[in-house]
Amino acid sequence: MLTIPAHAILLDMDGTLVDSDAVVDRLMGRWASAHGLDVDTVLRMSHGRQGHEVMAELLPDRPAEENLADNEELLAAEISDTDGIVEIPGAARLLAALVDVPHALVTSATLPLAQARMTAAGLVVPDVAVTADDVTESKPSPRGFLRAAEILGVDPTRCVVFEDSRAGIAAGLAAGATVIGVGEDVAGYGADHTVADLTSVHFDGESVQIHLIDR
């Protein structure tokens, strides 16, 4: 057991609180196939990032307007398609423990998409939610985490970030926070500590207590 002092908790959504892999794989996989791209590559690059930014990297000669249009269509489809979405084990219990503690959702999803996925997983969106609607750069830029810390009135270096993606972990570290990687696949992403899922996490009001995958 490791205890980490925390003045605020900043939480990613997809892969951290919500398992939305079924939807993302289905819709982004369909988009990748339609454009003759390797599905696994597209899914790997998309995790934790805004879709139009990934499209721009994959199709550098394509007009930005087309990427934005495709991204809007995907967002609309993702909001309505919640089949297979479930909570990451321990997410509901952790959010309940944070009800009187400064905390925020920080996600590359839009607010309507975050609301749809959190609701589908049986979770409540925190009062403070920094989404794709609030920042101009998605992860690995630290802007989302810095904005959340600013809203909460807490120094970013006193925040603990929970993330599951390489881009998200990089963003949390760039913000100066302590970063806990969530999931069996986060080894090598550079997080300060890693846990298998959120059942390994406890919060006593002043500090995060975690059972580590590794030390």
Cβ-proximal residues to 22 (8 Å cutoff; 6+ apart), any chain = 83, 84, 85
Query: 106 forms bridges with which residues in the sheet?
Result: 130
Q: Angle, to 10 degrees, between the axis of helix 39-46 and the axis of helix 21-34?
A: 130
Burial class of residue 199 in the structure, from the number of CB atoms within 10 Å of its CB (0-12 exposed, 13-18 middle, 19+ buried) = middle
Does 185 participate in catalysis according to the annotation? no
Does 14 participate in catalysis according to the annotation? yes
Token reading at 114: 């975050």
Calculate the alpha carbon distances from 3 to 124, 176, 187, 202 in Å: 26, 18, 20, 9
Which residues does the annotation mark as catalytic? 12, 14
